[in-house]
Structure 1
């Protein structure tokens, strides 16, 4: 069963009911299930005119393609796709560029752009993949291109339950960070990497026609909130011959989490450093963290997977993570 429940254009994602004017992409139609009709949505997604933030008087902060407005709204300007305006944690207005691919608009709306809408609801979106364990969810955090999705896809092929790819939504609940719902039920893997590790032939599809990434649909199950039990920061070091796992202290985890929070730069520019620090600390307050440092080669992947499994087993068994 999929976390994307569809009735007409009603979706359920991250524990929210979303009413969308965009049809579900062909890629994901096999992964949707029926949902009850009626009722008011938590989030409304539709088409309209979005003012260019570069000329708007209300822009107070900008970081790359993301602009934060004086009224608290966020505008994301994606070349070749369109302009997305998120406000009040409830509304997303999309102005596509002429000829934009409808599936690309959908994937952008419910990926990167939905992260900024979650921020407006004080749900913190982590740029991460994640797997389920008996103790809770373990996040795999890394910069773009550092192997989050490839690692998650390889773990899935080893029988692990992958609950999110690229966007892990975390809310604070009683002093413990909780993972909220799930993202889209597919993993995005670079085509050349997928081919090299044998993932491309294992039920993958083109993410977008002519694109550089393929999608792997994953089996998913309905879930509520689950604790964030731990996290692993994935890093490259080509001086190593073998990958190595190192424990990370809670204080170091607070520092390391910041670059992996969607929107931290525009939010800091808008609100100052005090906006993000409590959220960093909240995410790192209970889970256990480690660093997985590895050479940038495909041959090290099986050993990396074994280290991740050992870390997950240790958390489930109540053992502190050890360097190995």
Structure 2
């Protein structure tokens, strides 16, 4: 059975049930992306084999996940999923909605970052960082303060420098839920016995929003600081925090560079260094919002002084 869903402004016709994406679409119209279950051909002899089970083979990007299955993205419009026998549905969807859909968005020509995006007025800020950096916890704090979350984990940015809205949910660990005072008993675990959960969030319908700020999360032994990024450091950070950067080879690498160059011209990138061993979520949110306010004030002052 095929069900229609919406994500990133696209219509997905999926043979895999994906209630995480919200209510199914009932309005008529063609699908932008097909997700089908079946035999998925592996890489050819000329494919580029990459770490983490990834491979690029012409207009196909694949990932082979041990004990889960094979996912093959074809031409930016189709994902073939071949699960192993008796794989947990939640685990199968974890890689489908993460690695596979992220790779498909790369095929569609987007700059795809590993982070989250939250709304600030008529624009948005993107927070990136390595796994475990606290991106989703920070997004939850921004949502608590009234900022709509566009996307969590996979953030596609189009050729116009706009972040595309994903589905309304966060992936949060138990300790993050505890600090927010949220009971996890009604939420689905992301994988097996891991204490990480799909947490639905309320938000109005959103379209693509221009990215105006990018913050790179990091930790050091000093105080919490925000440092603007400039020059080659910007491009290094955008590559380092691209979602599944291993697939950025050949034409995908060229597109990534072009999208990065265009984005750099319109955003204010900075690094947020936080003290190691401290719970700095609230302080980090305070610092980012203060930095955004300061940059807007400077921009308004510059505009009126012309």
Output the TM-score relative to the length of structure 2: 0.88
Which residue pairs with 2:163 in the alignment?
A: 179
1:233 aligns with 2:216: yes
Q: Is the 8 A contact 1:130 1:168 kept in 2?
A: yes
SS at match of 2:289: helix
Q: Deviations over 1:177-210 (max 9, x none)?
A: 1112x22321112334544x34553787233441
Give the deviation of 1:215 after TM superposition. Answer: 2.6
For 2:226, which of 219, 237, 245 is the aligned residue? 245
Q: How does 1:117-196 map to 2 (within 5 A)?
A: 117-173=104-160, 177-180=161-164, 182-195=165-178
Give the deviation of 1:136 after TM superposition. Answer: 0.6
Aligned residues: 299
Give the deviation of 1:58 after TM superposition. Answer: 3.8
1:68 aligns with 2:68: no
Q: Is the 8 A contact 2:110 2:156 kept in 1?
A: yes
Which residue pairs with 1:300 in the alignment?
A: 280
Change in 2 beyond 3 A, CA 1:199/1:258: farther
Which residue pairs with 1:4 in the alignment?
A: none
Which residue pairs with 1:112 in the alignment?
A: 99
For 2:289, which of 303, 306, 309 is the aligned residue? 309
- Between the aligned partners of 2:115 and 2:245, the Cα distance in structure 1 is 14
Give the deviation of 1:318 after TM superposition. Answer: 4.7
For 1:280, which of 247, 255, 260 is the aligned residue? 260
Q: Give ranges in structure 1 of 5+ residues lacking alignment.
A: 1-6
Q: Give ranges in structure 2 of 5+ residues lacking alignment.
A: 301-306
Q: Deviations over 1:136-190 (max 9, x none)?
A: 11000101111111111122223222211101110112xxx1112x223211123
Q: Is the 8 A contact 1:19 1:45 kept in 2?
A: yes
Q: Which runs of 4+ in 1 moved over 6 A?
A: none
Which residue pairs with 2:183 in the alignment?
A: 201
Output the TM-score relative to the length of structure 1: 0.84
Change in 2 beyond 3 A, CA 1:279/1:244: same
